[in-house]
Amino acid sequence: MTYDFAPLFRTAIGFDRLARLMDSAAQADTAQSYPPYNIEKTGEDSYRLTMAVAGFSENDLDLTVKDNTLVVSGRVADGPKAEVLYRGIAGRAFERRFVLADHIVVEGAELSNGLLHVGLRRVVPETLKPRHIPVGNAASRTIANDPATATAPKAA
């Protein structure tokens, strides 16, 4: 099933990131499946991406974040040539892209037992966090704004 969002984007301004996200989601069905990966929620604001990268070393992997997109790529360095009778372990080059939500930062990555673990965390700036606004009344606002009126009696 295909949806046409063109009418929405003709009248909306500043939603180009949403359009790119919709396009990449539509292309996900045709995307490659190598290497396999898991995305786990490890806390309220933390996530972990785990990719199976058997045969790759730390030097063969590259992680880059640009424009809210995490790009994980791998390329095995050419080593000594040997006659391979059967190749069951894929060592081909790959590139996987993951769209990150706003305020998601990559905390770090580590390679362990053929698995690449990438730590992600949502870090919301203080200016975007909800804040409590105290409710006052007109008398308290007048007193707070002009201390002289606090001691003077009100005229009738």
Domains and CATH numbers, the chain: 1-31 (no CATH), 34-79+87-147 (2.60.40.790)
**What pLDDT band is residue 154 in, cutting at 50, 70 and 90?**
low
pLDDT at position 148 over 70 = no
Rounded-to-integer distance, Cα 100 and Cα 92, Å: 25
The reported pLDDT for the residue numbered 86 is 87
> What is the average pLDDT value for the chain, to the nearest integer?
80
- pTM of the predicted model as reported, rounded to 2 decimal places: 0.65
The reported pLDDT for the residue numbered 147 is 56
pLDDT at position 54 over 80 = yes
Give the number of C-alpha atoms closer than 13 A to the C-alpha of residue 114, restricted to the C-beta side: 8
- The predicted-structure confidence for 9-21, as pLDDT tens digits, reads as follows 666 666 666 666 7
- The predicted-structure confidence for 80-139, as pLDDT tens digits, reads as follows 677 888 878 777 899 999 989 888 999 999 999 999 999 999 988 888 778 888 888 877
First CA to last CA distance, the chain: 74
pLDDT at position 61 over 90 = yes
pLDDT at position 29 over 80 = no
Rounded-to-integer distance, Cα 65 and Cα 39, Å: 17
Rounded-to-integer distance, Cα 25 and Cα 20, Å: 9
